[in-house]
Amino acid sequence: MNDVPILRNWHDDADIRRDLRSWQEEGAAVREVRLPDGPRVWLVTGYEESRQAFVDPAIVKDYRKAPNPQGFGRFLHRDESWAGPNSVITTDGSHHTRLRNTLRPFLNRRALDTLRPVVRTICDETLDALAEPLDPDLMRDFARVVTARVVNHILGIDPRHLDTVISTSTDYGAGEGSHRANAAIARLSAIIGETVTARKRTPDQGIISALVADPTLTARDVLGIASTVIIGGTLTTSTLLGWGIAYATTLDDRHAVMSDPRRREGYIEEMLRRYSPTRISTWRFAAEPTVIGTTPIPAGAVVCIAPAAANRDPRQYPDPDLFDPGRPNAANHLAFGHGAHLCIGAPLARLEAATAYSSTFTRYPNLRLALDLEHIPWASAVVEMHPRTLPIDRNSLFM
């Protein structure tokens, strides 16, 4: 057991590059590691191996189907709303399809066409307020606000809960231990519970009203689905917005890129590939023995797929550390997963990014940060990583 290496936290891009170089030199696309907080997992870092693992029927999301996941019991029950057995991200087969289908009417193409002007208004209003603080910050004052307001809108959560939704997702992804994450989940559950009660009395057009009206869903189903939308719709999407805008401030042709829909789309896909907000996907479990690539995986093993690594596999992406918005196969990235659990909110995240990018540089054409990108501090949890702060040079907002 002592020869199983510990997976070090990835606190920034240099950490990812360091480990990837080491693994690539060893030719290890699947390896057993120990997470910093104890459990042993099989980490999948190769691109093709990750695609295979995402769709392998022997690898499941519902831990109850796996024979005694190795050393993982105490981690599986600490946040029942977000990752318990009634969540979209922890179910399989017909149960997963049933829960997932409750969200489709709110995230299909017609729904997104209706949401487009809403997202534009939210971005514009948030940008108008960006110059008000003396220390404006792209993450705190823009990216987190936009994503939380969009989530509140589609769920039907009272706007007065905006600050709590923002702090909840921020605390959940802070990477500072389970106590802070559990406290965040408790606040989240309280907001959802209050909204459920309100929507039973006064239904609206939001997701929670639809969930409450569905007689096939239990109270835990509703809690699990709504929690997934909040955490999934704010944490990683705010990184896509904030870091995407921050990186664009370093480009000489940023206005040409952001004003051209085709070039902007390429930029978004390459941002998702090169700077995937999802460090490691949520847990999977081997319900029976299987093989990923050429590596045997025993029954009961915990399997973690690492999109941040797979998206830089040189076998799939030549010169993978190069950020190239014109990369022809960038959109084949695994930032949103693959297969049955492909992120159902991916089209909304892309819409938010496209709107935020174009609106920001239209409103503030000379925007720049107060720090160089290499000095930006990052927070890293097991699943995702994000900039803690993206301080803006306030003078650039008035140029």
**What is the identity of the amino acid at 281?**
S
User: Does residue 166 have a pLDDT over 80?
Assistant: yes
What would the pLDDT profile of 33-77 be if each residue is shown by its tens digit?
Answer: 887 766 789 999 999 999 999 999 999 998 878 776 555 554 554
CA-to-CA distance for 96 and 21, rounded, in angstroms? Answer: 36
- Chain centroid to Cα 21, Å, comes to 24
Six-digit token string for 14: 């240099």
296 inside domain = no
Asked if residue 341 belongs to a domain, the reply is yes
Please report whether residue 26 resides in a domain.
no
pLDDT digits (tens, 9 = 90+) for 317-346: 999 999 999 999 999 999 999 999 999 999
Residue 2 lies in a domain: no
Q: What's the total number of domains in the chain?
A: 1
- What is the SS3 string spanning 186-202? HHHHHHHHHHHHHHHHC
Q: Identify the three-state secondary structure at position 309.
A: helix
Residue 338 counted as domain residue: yes
Express each pLDDT in 286-313 by its tens digit: 999 999 999 999 998 999 999 999 999 9
CATH number of the domain that residue 215 is part of: 1.10.630.10
What residues contact 93, with CB distance under 8 A and at least 6 apart?
A: none
For residue 173, tell me if it sits in a domain: yes
Largest CA distance in the chain: 61
Residues 6+ apart with CB under 8 A from 172: 82, 180, 181, 184, 185, 188, 231, 235, 381
Residue 256 lies in a domain: yes
In terms of residue numbers, what domain contains 170? 13-17+79-280+305-398
- Please give the model's pTM, rounded to 2 decimal places: 0.93
The answer to whether position 6 is within a domain reads no
